[in-house]
Amino acid sequence: MTTVDPQSLDNTYDDASHRTPLVLGGLDYEGVTDTACGFWEADSAPKIWWILLGLAISLLMLLGGLIQHLLFAGVGVWGNNNPAYWGWPIVNFVFWVGIGHAGTLISAILFLFRQNWRTSINRAAEAMTIFAVVCAGTFPGIHIGRVWVFYWLFPIPTEHLAMWPNFRSPLLWDVFAVSTYATVSLLFWYMGMVPDIATFRDRSKSKIGKVVYGLLSLGWTGSARNWHRYEIAYTLLAALATPLVLSVHTIVSFDFAVSQVPGWHTTIFPPYFVAGAIFSGFAMVVTLLVPARELFGLQKLITLRHLENMNKIIMATGLMVGTAYGIEFFIAWYSGVPWEAFAFWNRAFGNYWWAYWIMVSCNVMIPQLFWFKWCRTTPWFMVIVCIFVNIGMWFERFVITITSLCRDFVPSSWAYFTPTWVDLGMLIGSFGLFFTLFLLFCRFMPVIAMAEVKGIMPRDHH
């Protein structure tokens, strides 16, 4: 009837005699529903939620205002200039797209690996993916200059342009990749939510809620015949999303790898970028979920074991990223190409050395703390480490983009890139967009995949 350790909230230790419980506190199915719906069902959200939402909305308005300024004044408001024509907007784009990949990994790849612990976190992680892709898509959308002819990016017959896109260009591959990724993630997220929205429909007390959740749940009844096809579709989408997530960030890395610039033109970029994306994405998931589980009372569903597992993945991908840094240096020396060797020497000891060492310390050194069990099972500490990881990953994209552009083949083209206040404001504002969407999601949509959690609970259990 109950789990082995009903009162303990620490399931980070493995017991050989039985499977470690993933749902703690002696919760049964109804307990899971009540816990997961608790925040949504509250008559009014706690004050802290309103304060955070207010902060996020003000940052969102900052972003909106700056975008308007950009559209009217032109891309000169950014620091992009000769030779760094790709500045913060592209760095921010790759940063946000990378963060989004963790959600798909949790949803799709961990599903294919039958990792049952993913069920408590996958809904919030997928939501994070959607919102991160929204933030990511903003930057390429506004950086094209004449934003009103954005439709020229797509293969649509237009009279004014009398041309088609260049399908050889990685920038166009990006258009297809990110659009596909946004669409498929949205479909996957929505499909996963339908049974839980049906729960909301059946528990909702307001008329509007009943109508809205009723529409969104499509009349779901939990019929076994429906579940049968639903499960097949879920597996198919997971199998499709897995190569998708690998290919999308590979294509994003092609923006750099397909060029001739020293420091960019290297075949290590696709796996390096994908590992880095998962690394930063999981760090963001941890950063979001630790406060969320406290705020919404989800400690029994998002347990320490879940957090520890995520930290182990952060460790693994962090080591991959660190290895990739080392291999890059090795290849730069081994190749005997002087520009390549200089590009990497310059990263560590040139005029952007400060950015490089921030990156290395945040990405390689700080995550090593997770070797210690206390570090990876203490919620407040892991948030600090994960924030540093995200800072380090932003700097990684910065170092890659800017140092290679500012010191390329011809010394007469060298210059020092400086961002403008608009660059900085848009980065901060994008966090506002992200957190606004996420906070609204937490209040109005199912944060936990209740149906999936119940599905992995041991069956000697009401």
Report the nearest approach of another protein to the CB of residue 461 (Å): 8
Q: Is 312 in the site for another protein (CB under 8 A)?
A: no
CB of 457 to another protein, least distance (A): 9
Tokens of 83: 């030779």
With CB under 8 A as the contact rule, the residue among 227, 339, 345, 441 that binds another protein is 227
Closest CA to 327 of 277, 275, 268: 268
Q: Does 177 bind another protein (CB under 8 A)?
A: yes
Pick from 2, 8, 81, 183 the residue near another protein by CB under 8 A.
183
Minimum CB separation from another protein for residue 116, in Å? 12
Nearer to another protein, 170 or 271 (CB): 170
Binding flag, residue 222, another protein (CB under 8 A): yes
> Which residues are 84's β-sheet partners?
81
Contact status: 207 vs another protein (CB under 8 A) = no
Residue 433: closest CA among 177, 175, 96: 96
94 is an interface residue for another protein by CB under 8 A: no
Residue 219 makes contact with another protein by CB under 8 A: yes
Distance CA 130, CA 149 (A): 25
Among 96, 111, 220, 370, binds another protein (CB under 8 A): 220
First-to-last alpha carbon distance for the chain, in angstroms, is: 7
- Is residue 198 near another protein by the rule CB under 8 A? yes
Length of the chain: 462
The rounded distance, in Å, linking the Cα atoms of 403 and 401 is: 6
Buried b vs exposed e over 405-427: b needs ≥16 C-beta within 10 Å?
bbbbeeeeeeeebebeebbebbb
Residue 41 touches another protein, criterion: CB under 8 A: no
Give the CA-trace dihedral at 386, 387, 388, 389, to 10 degrees: 50
Judged by CB under 8 A, the stretch of 55-63, 126-134, 168-176, 370-378 that binds another protein is 168-176
Tally of CA atoms within 13 A in the half-sphere of 339 that contains its CB:
16
Q: How far is the CB of 308 from another protein (least distance, A)?
A: 25
Q: By CB under 8 A, is residue 251 in contact with another protein?
A: yes
Q: Across the strands, what pairs with 81?
A: 84
**Per residue in 108-143, is it b (16+ CB within 10 Å) or e — as a string?**
bbbbeeeeebbbbbbbbbbbbbbbbbbbbbbbbebb
Q: Cβ 248 to another protein, closest distance in Å?
A: 8
189 with 127: CB under 8 angstroms?
yes
Mark residues 131-150: x for contact with another protein by CB under 8 A, - for none.
Answer: ---------------x-x--
Name the residue nearer to another protein (CB basis): 82 or 260.
Answer: 260
Q: CA angle 199-202-204, nearest 5°?
A: 100
Nearer to another protein, 256 or 394 (CB): 256
Using rule CB under 8 A, residue 126 touches another protein: no
199 lies in the binding site for another protein (CB under 8 A) = yes
166 scored as a contact of another protein (CB under 8 A): yes
Q: Say how far apart CA 95 and CA 89 lie, in whole Å.
A: 10
Measured CA to CA, the distance from residue 45 to residue 436 in angstroms comes to 15
Tokens of 41: 């069902």
Residues that bind another protein (CB under 8 A): 28-30, 33, 146, 148, 155, 157, 162-168, 170, 172-173, 176-177, 179-180, 183-184, 187-188, 191, 195, 198-199, 201-203, 214-215, 218-233, 236-237, 240-241, 243-244, 247, 251, 254, 450-452, 454-455, 459, 461-462
